[in-house]
Amino acid sequence: MRVGCPKEIKVHEYRVGLTPESAAELVRAGHEVFLETKAGEGIGAPDSVYEKVGVKILPNADAVFEKAEMIVKVKEPQAIEIARLKPHHVLFTYLHLAPDPEQTEGLMKSGATCIAYETVTDKDGRLPLLKPMSEVAGRMSIQVGAHFLEKANGGRGVLMGGVPGVRPADIVILGAGVSGYNAAQIAVGMRARVTVFDKNASRLEELDREFNGRLETVYSTSAAIAEAIKEADVVVGAVLVAGAAAPKLITRDMLKTMRTGSVLVDISIDQGGCFETSKATTHSEPVFTVDGIIHYCVANMPGAVARTSAFALNNATLPFTMALANKGYKQALLDDPHLANGLNVYEGQIAHEAVARDTGKAFKRPNWLG
């Protein structure tokens, strides 16, 4: 198969869909790999490193899309990229269609087969291709919160871990999944006071045992969240419903009860955000303030640590990329129902039920998938 990897063009997105190691595996399996020039520079991988493993370097994205049958990316395609897609293309990348009607319409019109990292599952119903970036975002969320708590950055002037005689920051984490767990690890490590909310009582029990009482766990209700955020210095939104828009857990009115200079970090922003006042931001302008509360809503948080993120992502995606290339997309999806759950758009139709529901489109699963 001819596999193409264009340079990411989202603002301050430095990751790359194929690391040199992943590209080498594809070449070794007999596939042709095309890379847009300088696509790997953001992770410290110049064109020469790719050329050494047999990758063909092309001068621009147009050439990559023209040559390739399968396009492997990181972030959702931008409008100019969607315009390059043709019905014969297989697109394998993060899509996050639920809160993005323009992208959804564009992909449907393209006729391309679009497989989303974030809805591929494993045998336990987890999301293995979302996990590595959720780990990165969770850990970053506490770094970000600590940074914007500093007075010079508009925050309350609170040190995350406090000092002897002065209490540490109060951190509220909404969601005990992969992102929430990783946020808790860093926050506890920085000696903050941490409270984790979730609706899964078993998961809260697991966290209580693992952290040995170094954090508090609370069953998530609107009333409990409303009470907790009054004293919070940082609130991390780490809520995920696979393929669907994130629920709004903090309303505009609730902001008025919070301390001026507190920080909201919305990891869920890719799926529309879990705060009513959230709107997607970029690494160039990462924050905005509503009612005195700082909002950090960068939609590609892991792009800030591109090398770590790209290698972690490729570790997870490579087996699926290889399956798609080796077998062709139809056979790969037929052989692996978990990969088949990643199919979001096919022949102009939405092929994932949760995505269809949240985008208001008709759901149509391909007949050949059964």
Taken in order 252, 257, 261, 262, the sign of the CA dihedral is negative
The whole-angstrom separation of Cα 96 and Cα 82 is 14
In a 10 Å sphere around its CB, with 0-12 CB exposed, 13-18 middle and 19+ buried, how is residue 248 labelled?
middle
Q: Annotated catalytic sites, by residue?
A: 96, 270
**Could you give the maximum distance between any two Cα atoms of the chain, in Å?**
66
98: closest CA among 340, 347, 360?
360
Q: Are 255 and 230 in contact (CB under 8 A)?
A: no
User: What number of other Cβ atoms are within 10 A of residue 156's Cβ?
Assistant: 17
Cα–Cα distance measured from residue 281 to residue 64, given in angstroms and rounded to the nearest whole number: 29
Angle value at C-alpha 279, between 11 and 112, nearest 5 degrees: 60
Give Cα separations from 51 to 27, 67, 72, 237, 307 (angstroms): 11, 17, 18, 41, 19
Distance CA 41, CA 55 (A): 15
Distance set, CA 364 to CA 82, 121, 142, 354, 370 (Å):
21, 19, 40, 12, 11
Count other C-beta atoms under 10 Å from residue 148's C-beta: 23
